[in-house]
Amino acid sequence: MGRNKEEPLFNRIEQARMARGLTRQQLADAVGVHYQTIGYLERGEYSPSLTLALRLAQVLGAGVEELFSVDPFQDLKPRSPA
C-alpha cells in the first residue's frame, strides 16, 4: 500500500547535520544533491527517495528510522517563528 502524497514525513536532518558541524552545501555534496534539496528536505517540503534517505543516514551516521518518521518526533520542540 502506498503512502498518501499529502501525508507528512517528519525528519531530523537539520539536527543531525548541525550536530556534525556540516553546512547544507557539505551535506549536499556528500550525498550528491543540490544544496537547496537539503533545505527542502529539512523543511519537510520534499520527501526523499529511499536511495537518498539511505545516503543521508550513512553520511550523518544514523539509522534511517532515526532521521525519518511518519509520526512527529516527541523529543523535538516546535520551531520558533522567524
CB 44 within 8 A of CB 8: yes
Q: Which residue has the cell 557539505?
A: 26
Q: Are 5 and 65 in contact (CB under 8 A)?
A: no
Q: Is the pLDDT of residue 63 over 90?
A: yes
Residue with cell 511518519: 70
What's the grid cell of residue 7?
Answer: 501525508
Residue 66 exposure: Cα atoms within 13 Å on the Cβ side: 12
**For the segment 3-61, what is each residue's pLDDT rounded down to a tens digit?**
445 678 999 999 999 999 999 999 999 999 999 999 999 999 999 999 999 999 999 99
- Predicted TM-score of the model (pTM): 0.80
Whole-angstrom Cα distance, residue 22 to residue 27?
A: 6
User: Domains plus CATH for the chain?
Assistant: 10-65 (1.10.260.40)
